[in-house]
Structure 1
Amino acid sequence: MEALRQYVAREGGMPGRAVVERLPDGTEHRTGIWIGNQKARRHRLDQAQLVMLADLGADWAR
């Protein structure tokens, strides 16, 4: 979620599938693939997770 927050703050929207985000600690996160997986598995996410994703701009999480 931290990588998604960082990406949205910088770019203003959801990442494409190929996006790899570098976190402040130097680790890389395959944010684009992660968001695609969250979308595909949204029926398994709890309400708090869906709200966080919706707040960051994931239209499908509403």
Structure 2
Amino acid sequence: MLPRVSKSGKGSAFERGITALAPFVQREEHLKVPRQHTETILIDGQEHHVKAGVFLSNHKSRRNKLSTEQREQLAALGIYWATAT
């Protein structure tokens, strides 16, 4: 399930990161996102270049600060550490 993006088309940085990870996982069939990888996504017809590797790495290192909803969104993509306490 993809997050909702605000009417302005931008959404939060977390939402853009999740939205960028979803096609990567679907296309590559794994979550070993290279840190330098940038995923291009379309939101309301506008291209956004999301540094998906940096997003994933940063959120993994800060996972204790994530909300329950954010952890659930990451877990839905198959990210194992999102469910660990």
1:2 counterpart = 2:19: yes
Q: Structure 2: which 5+ residue stretches go unaligned?
A: 1-17
1:31 counterpart = 2:52: yes
Structure 1: 4+ residue segments shifted above 3 A: none
Point out the more displaced range, 33-42 or 14-23: 14-23
Larger strand share, 1 or 2: 2
1:41 CA displacement: 0.6
Please say which structure displays the higher CA radius of gyration. 2
Q: Trace 1:9-20 onto structure 2 (pairs within 5 A).
A: 9-14=26-31, 15-20=33-38
Aligned residues: 62
Q: Sequence identity of aligned pairs in percent?
A: 32
Kindly provide the amino acid, as one letter, of the partner of residue 2 in structure 1. Answer: T
Q: Structure 1: which 5+ residue stretches go unaligned?
A: none
Larger helix share, 1 or 2: 1
Root-mean-square deviation (CA, aligned residues, Å) is 1.1
SS in 2 for 1:26: strand
TM-score (norm: length of structure 2): 0.66
- For 2:78 and 2:53, how far apart are their aligned partners in 1? 14
TM-score (norm: length of structure 1): 0.87
